[in-house]
Amino acid sequence: MKTLLMIAAPLALAIPAAHAAEPAPNGDALFARMDANGDGKIDKAELTKAAEAQAAKKGDTAPVDTAKIDEMIKRIDTNGDGAVDKAEMDAMRNAHAAGGDAKH
């Protein structure tokens, strides 16, 4: 569970309760940082790197569970291209803010 939360953190973003219905204002910047090659999508390698960086900030040196990365991408990737684009990330964040799931 800890690993899944650490992997989800870069995408899910913590949204303050006072602004739960609004997307986080830094979502575009976060997406741009995660999209290392600038192709408009976050692929498995980019998401893995982001999860590793997030874990390292917390002092966790355990390897990232790539199966969890695959599971997350599959859940968020509504168009089935194997990556998370900006629209999919926004939909996931909005669903999370509303207390739902990324897929409707």
CB-neighbour burial class of residue 30 (10 A; exposed 0-12, middle 13-18, buried 19+): middle
Domains along the chain?
A: 2-14+23-97 (1.10.238.10)
Find the range with the poorest average confidence among 5-9, 46-50, 55-59.
Answer: 5-9
CA 60, chain centre distance (Å): 18
CA distance 59 to 48: 16
80-94 tens-digit pLDDT:
999 999 999 999 989
pTM over 0.85: no
